[in-house]
Structure 1
């Protein structure tokens, strides 16, 4: 019995220290959250002053009072200057873009976490709830090696490796640094997965305790909240299907409660599909795109790397076939548009 415990501890240590896990999933999280927050800042660009600027109804003084109670902090309040705020906003946009592209990811990931935390802390009550998850994921991703796949860093590393092979030189990281990077990355990915499991599990258990979810009428009331009805006509059409709404409500609760347990079997794939449909409906029917996008990206952590490698190969084959088709079509187009040219003899007779 004791030997079995030691074997499991050894296997866990090997898993944490041997090699980084889910590198492609980490890359998807980086691309997803970087792009999502960039789109969020661009969407709110016309309203940036009202949400986060010095002239916001949630004044810097009120924000500082809350910081004293909550412990939050924001670089946006280092100065009340309008010019300083505009510079911070521009830096935030550039940081999100660079993070999504994976340029100098180790440093930019820390800057991205500072950006997300600062904007969230400056106006806690202004977003739709998805920023709460964004804050957690931005902090977790700063500890992961999320720039090793599908990034500018990965491309640069690959080019350097090709050059070093040509020169007969090889560059290696120190063992201590490699071990530390691997452990931090693996722990970060496990924490991200655990965070999503806790989120779904708690959401499902809270719904189980609610009377409206128990009798199947919860979604009816959700679809009739004026604050969350961007498309009233569409909400009304969906609300007319009472039996379907009741079934969807029960399936939603079941999927959320079962999610942490389904991860250890193949049931996780249909559950993930159900949750994807749920988040798409939340984004469309309730007008919460940031929240839904943050959850959809978070779910990507549970897909194995072989899935992303297969998706990458499929994408490359599609691009290659498209390029070959275009290349084959181009000569025919050119030959049809350009008349035949005279050969060398024709050129000589023309000169004469």
Structure 2
């Protein structure tokens, strides 16, 4: 009969399960992932919403203000059904609305710069939610994506890189130098480690939710297109280019629409890229797929006049690029700048001056004769 040690010893399956759970826990709480990608999302969506508010500044009253056809009373009736809310409907005063608009501009700018990101990320989510809910019938897919990303970014540590917070922490660390930290109690150390693990876990979960949201968006869009007969026949883009509502430049749309074969190939490629996107994320095929998606979104912004939607999608795609790619970008820029400076001629030196012999000397000012010259230099007065 087996002894007690053999009975209590874990089997191979139990050991494998324990190792997998330990590895998953270490991946979740060990270190924050995609810090540069989170910063790119913060900068991108903060800048995008700031540009959006500035662009709609002349029309702010008709869209969100007291002069909007969708009055605060109608908005409140809709809020009772949908559960939405907005700080813009707390008062019908024009001065209050103008103050909210200015604060929204300031919040978007501070969130983009990464100043006190923990606080400004929450304020940015409140701003986006309030403006979205105030005039919900004037929004599109780009507004919906920006709203979701603003809520997800609250969970992430999006101010750790390329931000004013990161600069302040770096300067603080330089001022401290090698000064040893005061000894902490065991409880204080444990509390700090627990806080770090919790922040890391929440950040990693937030980045996973963002990536899953983008995959779900692409996959569902591709599957819906497959079910449509116009996408199956390759004529969907032809109809889209001839819609009056989505023709910012009719001449350009008409010119592109003449190439029927290119239009059909572009339609099939759009469906293929969107359906295949979730399946190529863990291979090197994601880089050419992301490049093609970038071109697709640029085409949507130019031909269909949807810059907010295209910008939101391009920024969302940045979450799938690794941190080593973003860490390499500053080094690449510095290398290009040094190469440009080395090719630039030195200041005060004419181009091609290296082939001209040096002129002048101590005797020139006294009217001495130059070697090999038949003419005498006139004396200085």
TM over 0.5: yes
Question: For the residues of structure 2 that align with 1:175 and 1:165, how far apart are their CA atoms?
Answer: 22
1:149 corresponds, among 161, 164, 188, to 161
For normalisation by structure 2, the TM-score amounts to 0.84
Q: Aligned pair 1:230/2:235, yes or no? A: no
Q: 1:245 to 1:187 in 2, by over 3 A?
A: same
Q: Aligned pair 1:313/2:331, yes or no? A: yes
Q: How many residues are paired up?
A: 335
1:132 corresponds, among 123, 128, 144, to 144
TM-superposed CA distance for 1:32, in Å, is 0.2
- Structure 1 residues 12-51: aligned runs within 5 Å: 12-51=24-63
What residue ranges of structure 1 are gaps of 5+ in the alignment? 334-352
TM-superposed CA distance for 1:159, in Å, is 0.5
Q: 1:255 to 1:107 in 2, by over 3 A?
A: same
Q: Secondary structure at the match of 1:174?
A: helix
Q: RCO (CA 8 Å, sep 6+): is it higher in 1 or 2?
A: 1
Greater fraction helix: 1
TM-superposed CA distance for 1:314, in Å, is 1.2
For normalisation by structure 1, the TM-score amounts to 0.90
Partner of 1:54: 66
Q: 1:300 to 1:280 in 2, by over 3 A?
A: same
Question: For the residues of structure 1 that align with 2:85 and 2:160, how far apart are their CA atoms?
Answer: 30
Q: Deviations over 1:103-136 (max 9, x none)?
A: 1001100000000010000011223321100010
Question: For the residues of structure 1 that align with 2:169 and 2:347, how far apart are their CA atoms?
Answer: 35
- Structure 1 residues 1-352: aligned runs within 5 Å: 1-169=13-181, 174-319=192-337, 329-330=346-347
TM-superposed CA distance for 1:217, in Å, is 0.6
Question: For the residues of structure 1 that align with 2:223 and 2:20, how far apart are their CA atoms?
Answer: 31
Question: For the residues of structure 2 that align with 1:325 and 1:104, how far apart are their CA atoms?
Answer: 41
What residue ranges of structure 2 are gaps of 5+ in the alignment? 1-12, 184-188, 351-381
TM-superposed CA distance for 1:97, in Å, is 0.5
Q: Deviations over 1:274-300 (max 9, x none)?
A: 111111011000100000000000000
Q: Deviations over 1:137-160 (max 9, x none)?
A: 000001100000000100000011
Aligned-residue CA RMSD in angstroms?
A: 2.2
| Higher radius of gyration, 1 or 2 | 2
Q: Deviations over 1:234-288 (max 9, x none)?
A: 0011111111111111111010000001101111111111111111011000100
